[in-house]
């Protein structure tokens, strides 16, 4: 995580750096800082907390200057504090860094032995010292950065400036995103396009192990061996106003209510009256999907939950076995890959470090092909995959993912149906499911109408410290996702279980202080779920049940709050039941007064491992 | 869950029923009760709470009589209370029941319409009424029970007596265990052999849909169509004194310290200097294991965690893909079964309802064969499987499973090594791993020596309401198991995550009130885990680290309690690191003053769905 902005311009660049950091705050907001070359010195402004804290310091004592680097931090090494805030200065250089350096402890000891002192606990300051050593030995800033990164293990995107070359910034990336913004007589570096869109729409994406040098008039990219490499510039499709909050109180609320539109956009031009349209996964998709006999889905967090739902769908509709695995585990495990297995990576940002690394690792493991489900067309995951289906959620600003999840489910449903047809799903069922999927935006629209009821239920949670979420079948991942939302933004310790596992241990936790949230769609598992809920009620637990309109459940029982939802058919019900879960987490968090869009400790696009 | 005892004898049987219930208390202890035919009436003694509460009532006002049924309850329908305690009486019959009747609500309404009144909220009383209806219509008790169970949906073991036939008891089973104890001039029914071992060692196991009638002198078994069926009696191998607590404060503590012996017993005669011995999985095993190309492991709770560890082992050593699934989910999902897949069921008791039902369901799904890992040789899971490996943990009385888990891991390790050899694992690695496995009892013995350190750490938890457990790789299931133990017996809401997933959401929960327990074995993932732990420390979280002796970690840092464990090699480390987790849960629970061996809401052998 962490966000980087840097600029070399003729004008004072502090306001540009601050605006860029604000756009990057989703990547971390433990502390913020910037360093600007002002005459013969490098001046820093740093503050614990959000960018606006640092901005207030700057406003009180502005720093002029046209060369600068800036950073908003998500703490990995060292507590959030001004001392640990970037930029870090060592000798004649200043550095901002996104990522984790793994051999920092060894390097720190070696440098201390040489007489270096360190003012922070960060791995970044160690990196700065390594670069400064090379600068002091007579290298140019670019040579010094190149030499330094060859000594470092880990992942990084960095921007570095030097007192000796005050109108120049050098950047480098490995495993974390960095791009160049190309202006008129000015150049920028940023962690993403949104950080720079207000000053330019011409972007150049850097690749792994690139080292870049920018001045006002030039951009030059080099490999780690020092030879120049060519990188093409593109016009970005992001618009500057797609990220405004409008009438909503929080981005998260806006994004929850955007879901009918986001899902409809994701379906548009991809499914018609006769089924899934041809070539929507890329023009090379047909032979690959025809051949697919197994699927491995790899993702993190919310995207992992989307993959878990997809497992139910694909196994049922296409009879293809699906394994879903957390990316950070997948990478380091000696995975068995049966013949003709498709690797599917799921990531909202397409820059999630673990997912990206897993995808790269998969190249060595003999998959049929790689397939990306992603929300950012220019992202690394998309660029490096053979096949892809873009979700069209639009920019997601709230750190707790909502519309990204339901659009990922939509993309997976398209894939499951398409594979089903290829693998002998009968035509009538296929067309019925396609019709059902097309109705998803309407069912989501309806599910959003439960908001007033959920607002009332949210009251129950204000004083609670725990909750259990229960689901069965494809609704178990929905329960997982619901509990994750509540965790992320309300800090309530919510945990999900497949309902049948309750009596194998977690039931010991149930008493009157432990509310239970259950998803009860209509279907063959309803009676089993009702038995599980009886077990909870017999122990005094308070129940909140999201029940399908058609499910035969007693309303109005004591200690049971029932919210009725029309789940549509089996295929779309997981996406539909996600909506009240999101609303519940949102309203509980609002009532508890947490920072809904930027919850503590988290960051959006997790670009460190 | 729930436990049943019944007896027809010439002597007063109340003391026999009470002793039997005490042996069955691991199956539930919400309430207890018995009904005894005393002259022309059926007299009941019932009490909320444990068997000793009911015993006190009986002692104050003893009931004579030689025919009786008794029950210790784990509440499924209706809160724990005297009113809901078994036996239930309807009309002229009394009944005790283990299981869940799914169509009880419909039946209850129909019977109410006929003028029946119900005094409890239980499904059991409804069952009693259905039987009584048939008795009132002129049927014998056996005919009435047979007719009734044909109208019922769900799972049950029952024992029923009638005022009209005071020297006779009828039992029936479907999905829940029931066996007959054969004495001299007296007969018994019980949920397991331990309940009856003090009065007889001759046992007759009933099968699905059997109806049994016992008198002092006769035992007759019938099918649901009323025709007699033959069931053989066996001498039980259980000894009456293997279930005493000895010097230990709790059964759980005793069972934790028995692990070196239990694991050694599980290895004995199964592995030698040249590797895994032949035929240990059954004489039919060779062709099946040679052919195995995929494995599905199905289990619940702790046994499920053992399966998750096995997945790592089998995939690594034998390159056979393994899918591990919760039994309650597996049963109701449309699972894809690739050719030559082996079904593995894991259950301590061999009577776990969901696991047993999943195994039966698997028969229809085209597996190569079924394989059981189980601790009870006479159990349904063992009797119905093609291949098996018995764990030799001995009786496990503590509801929170300990030695069952490590012996299941031992059994899985034997299977993984044997499959590895069949699938091309090189001889040197194979022999090295076999040697490592043989050393497991010694490493567990050593790990038990951490008890004094852990006793000190347990202090940290007394006032906590939450904890997070972190692991990576094969230690992730160990973290899951550690968190489950803490949940079960200390009622602390502990949850486990693969360490890399922390930053994808749960990190929001971390503050100074959330202790983090991490397993840090030596190995390639250590540096990644250290980075994850830095993320936690940066947010004020208190760390308890179980670290391998060889792992390079800083001891003595503030807010970090480090316990060093010699994990042995990669293969056995998950079993070794389980030990401190068990000790931690145990000592936290003792210090919190909970009922360690019989934690609230739970029961041991989960024979309801």
DSSP string, B362-392: HGGGT-SEEEEEES-TTSHHHHT-SEEEE--
All residues of chain A having their beta carbon less than 8 Å from the beta carbon of residue B175 are: none
Number of helices (H) and strands (E), helices first, in chain A? 19, 26
For A131-178, write each residue's pLDDT tens digit: 999 999 999 999 999 999 999 988 899 999 999 999 999 999 987 889
- Reduced to 3 states (helix: H, G, I; strand: E, B; else coil), residue B437 is helix
Nearest CA in chain B to A338: B321
All residues of chain A having their beta carbon less than 8 Å from the beta carbon of residue B327 are: 500
Contact between chains at A354 and B484 (C-beta distance less than 8 A): no
For B235-264, write each residue's pLDDT tens digit: 876 665 555 677 788 999 999 999 999 999
Q: Which residues pair with B346 in a beta bridge?
A: B373
Catalytic residues of B, which ones? 2, 604
A118 burial (CB, 10 Å; 0-12 / 13-18 / 19+) is middle
Q: What is the DSSP string of B28-92?
A: --SEEEEEEEETTEEEEEEEESSHHHHHHHHHHS----SEEEEEEE--SSS-SSTTTPSPEEETT
Q: How far is CA A471 from CA A64, A247, A312, A519, B390, in A?
A: 57, 34, 14, 5, 33
pLDDT for A70: 97
Lookup result for tokens 């009589």: B65
pLDDT for A605: 66
pLDDT for B582: 97
Given a cut of 70, the residues of chain B with pLDDT beneath it are 1, 76-77, 237-244, 555-558, 605-609
User: Is residue A554 a contact partner of residue A524, using CB atoms and an 8 Å limit?
Assistant: no
Q: How far is CA A365 from CA A143, A330, B508, B565, in A?
A: 36, 12, 34, 34
Nearest CA in chain B to A317: B334
Closest Cβ opposite residue B488 in set A319, A338, A508: A508
Q: How far off is chain A from B336, nearest CA to CA, in Å?
A: 6
Q: How far off is chain B from A40, nearest CA to CA, in Å?
A: 35
If one counts every other C-beta atom within 10 angstroms of the C-beta of residue A534, the result is 17
A273 burial (CB, 10 Å; 0-12 / 13-18 / 19+) is exposed
pLDDT for B99: 85
Closest Cβ opposite residue B505 in set A100, A301, A506: A301
Contact between chains at A334 and B315 (C-beta distance less than 8 A): yes
For B203-228, write each residue's pLDDT tens digit: 998 988 999 999 999 999 999 999 99
pLDDT for B355: 96
User: Is residue B129 a contact partner of residue B91, using CB atoms and an 8 Å limit?
Assistant: yes
Can you tell me the mean pLDDT for A345-359?
A: 94
**Of residues B503, B565, B568, B508, the one with CA closest to residue B529:** B503
Q: To probe the interface with B, which of A310, A490, A538, A605 has the most B CB atoms within 10 Å?
A: A538
- Reduced to 3 states (helix: H, G, I; strand: E, B; else coil), residue A354 is helix
Could you give the residue ranges of the DSSP H alpha helices within B183-341?
Answer: 251-257, 259-267, 285-291, 301-318, 327-330
Q: Which of residues B504 and A541 earns the better pLDDT score?
A: B504
Which is it for strands B187-190 and B3-8: parallel, antiparallel or unpaired?
antiparallel
Q: What is the distance between the alpha carbons of residues A547 and B486, in angstroms, rounded to a whole number? A: 32
Contact between chains at A487 and B509 (C-beta distance less than 8 A): yes
Catalytic residues of A, which ones? 2, 604
pLDDT for A238: 65
Nearest CA in chain A to B1: A503
Q: What is the distance between the alpha carbons of residues A321 and A305, in angstroms, rounded to a whole number? A: 17
Closest Cβ opposite residue B328 in set A500, A509, A540: A500
Contact between chains at A315 and B334 (C-beta distance less than 8 A): yes
Q: What is the distance between the alpha carbons of residues A490 and A586, in angstroms, rounded to a whole number? A: 8
Here the tokens at position A311 are 């497992």
Query: What number of CA atoms fall less than 13 Å from residue A444's CA on the CB side?
Result: 29
User: Is residue A284 a contact partner of residue A387, using CB atoms and an 8 Å limit?
Assistant: yes
User: Is residue B234 a contact partner of residue B156, using CB atoms and an 8 Å limit?
Assistant: no
Could you give the residue ranges of the DSSP H alpha helices within B152-246?
Answer: none
Q: What is the distance between the alpha carbons of residues A90 and A112, in angstroms, rounded to a whole number? A: 13
Q: What is the distance between the alpha carbons of residues A475 and A470, in angstroms, rounded to a whole number? A: 8
All residues of chain A having their beta carbon less than 8 Å from the beta carbon of residue B608 are: 503, 531
Query: What number of CA atoms fall less than 13 Å from residue A362's CA on the CB side?
Result: 33
**Which residues, 6+ apart, have CB-to-CB distance to A417 below 8 Å?**
A271, A275, A276, A317, A425, A430, A433, A434, A437
What length is written for chain B? 609
Write down the mean pLDDT value for chain A.
91
User: Is residue A359 a contact partner of residue A343, using CB atoms and an 8 Å limit?
Assistant: yes
The pLDDT of residue A505 is above 70:
yes
Lookup result for tokens 């022309």: B40
Q: What is the distance between the alpha carbons of residues A535 and B228, in angstroms, rounded to a whole number? A: 37
User: Is residue B303 a contact partner of residue B355, using CB atoms and an 8 Å limit?
Assistant: yes
All residues of chain B having their beta carbon less than 8 Å from the beta carbon of residue A333 are: 312, 315, 473
Q: Which of residues A603 and A364 earns the better pLDDT score?
A: A364
pLDDT for B599: 84
User: Is residue B606 a contact partner of residue A503, using CB atoms and an 8 Å limit?
Assistant: yes
User: Is residue A344 a contact partner of residue A411, using CB atoms and an 8 Å limit?
Assistant: no
Q: How far is CA B566 from CA A185, A426, B450, B452, in A?
A: 62, 57, 10, 16
Q: How far off is chain B from A491, nearest CA to CA, in Å?
A: 5
Contact between chains at A476 and B329 (C-beta distance less than 8 A): yes
**Which residues, 6+ apart, have CB-to-CB distance to A568 below 8 Å?**
A436, A439, A440, A443, A576
pLDDT confidence tier of residue A74, bands split at 50, 70 and 90: confident
Phi/psi of residue A466, nearest 5 degrees: -140, 160
User: Is residue B395 a contact partner of residue B242, using CB atoms and an 8 Å limit?
Assistant: yes
Contact between chains at B329 and A472 (C-beta distance less than 8 A): yes
The CA-based dihedral angle spanning residues A207, A213, A219, A225, taken in that order and rounded to the nearest 10 degrees: -50
A230 burial (CB, 10 Å; 0-12 / 13-18 / 19+) is exposed
What sign does the dihedral B391-B394-B400-B402 (CA atoms) show?
A: negative
């Amino acid at each position: 995580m962490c966000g980087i902005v840097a600029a070399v311009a003729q004008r004072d660049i502090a306001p540009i750096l601050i605006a860029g950091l604000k756009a990057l705050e989703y990547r971390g907001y433990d502390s913020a800082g910037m360093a600007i070359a002002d005459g013969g010195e490098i001046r820093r402004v740093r503050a614990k907390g959000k960018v606006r804290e640092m901005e207030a310091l700057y406003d009180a004592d502005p720093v002029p200057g046209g060369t600068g680097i800036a950073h908003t931090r998500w703490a990995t090494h060292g507590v959030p504090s001004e001392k640990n805030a970037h930029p870090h200065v060592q000798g004649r250089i200043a550095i901002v860094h996104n990522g984790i350096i793994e051999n920092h402890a060894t390097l720190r000891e070696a440098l201390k032995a040489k007489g270096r002192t360190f003012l922070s606990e960060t791995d970044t300051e160690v990196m700065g010292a390594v670069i400064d050593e090379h600068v002091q030995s007579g290298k140019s800033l670019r040579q010094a950065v190149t030499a330094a990164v060859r000594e470092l293990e880990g992942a990084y995107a960095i921007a570095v400036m030097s007192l000796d070359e005050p109108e120049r910034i050098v950047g480098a990336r490995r495993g974390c995103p960095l791009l160049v913004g190309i202006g008129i007589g000015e150049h920028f570096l940023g962690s993403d396009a949104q950080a720079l869109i207000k000053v330019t729409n011409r972007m150049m994406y850097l690749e792994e192990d690139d080292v870049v040098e920018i001045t006002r008039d030039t951009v030059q990219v080099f490999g780690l061996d020092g030879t120049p490499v060519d990188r093409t510039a593109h016009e970005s499709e992001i618009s500057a106003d797609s990220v405004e909050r409008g009438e909503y109180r929080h981005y998260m609320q806006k994004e929850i209510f955007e879901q009918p539109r986001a899902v409809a956009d994701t379906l548009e031009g991809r499914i018609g009256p006769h089924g899934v349209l041809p070539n929507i996964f890329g023009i090379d998709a047909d032979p690959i999907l025809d051949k697919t006999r197994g699927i491995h889905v790899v993702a993190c967090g919310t995207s992992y939950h989307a993959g878990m739902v997809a497992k139910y769908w694909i196994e049922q509709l296409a009879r293809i076995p699906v394994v879903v695995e957390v990316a950070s585990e997948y990478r380091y495990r000696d995975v068995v890959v049966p013949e003709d297995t498709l690797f599917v990576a799921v990531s909202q940002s397409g820059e999630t470090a673990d997912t990206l690394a897993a995808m790269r690792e998969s190249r060595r493991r003999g998959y049929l092909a790689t397939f990306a489900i992603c929300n950012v067309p220019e992202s690394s995951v998309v660029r490096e995959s053979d096949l892809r289906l873009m979700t069209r959620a639009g920019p997601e600003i709230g750190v707790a993912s909502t519309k990204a999840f339901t659009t990922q489910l939509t993309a997976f449903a398209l894939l499951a149906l398409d594979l089903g047809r290829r693998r002998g799903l009968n035509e009538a069922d296929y067309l019925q499911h396609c019709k059902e999927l097309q109705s998803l935006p309407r069912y989501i629209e309806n599910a959003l109408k439960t908001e007033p009821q959920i607002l009332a239920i949210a009251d129950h949670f204000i004083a609670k410290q725990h909750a259990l979420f229960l689901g069965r079948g494809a609704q178990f991942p929905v329960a997982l996702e619901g509990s994750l939302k509540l965790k992320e933004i309300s800090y309530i310790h919510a945990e999900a279980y497949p309902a049948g596992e309750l009596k194998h241990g977690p039931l010991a936790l149930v008493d009157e202080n432990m509310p239970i949230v259950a998803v009860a769609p209509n279907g063959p598992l309803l009676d089993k779920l009702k038995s599980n809920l009886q077990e909870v009620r017999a122990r005094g637990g308070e129940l909140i049940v999201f029940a399908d309109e058609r499910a035969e459940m007693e309303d109005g029982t004591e200690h049971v709050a029932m919210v009725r939802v029309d789940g549509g058919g089996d295929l779309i019900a997981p996406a539909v039941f996600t909506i009240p879960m999101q609303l519940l987490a949102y309203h509980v968090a609002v009532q508890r007064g947490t920072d809904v869009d930027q919850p503590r400790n988290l960051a959006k696009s997790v670009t460190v491992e």
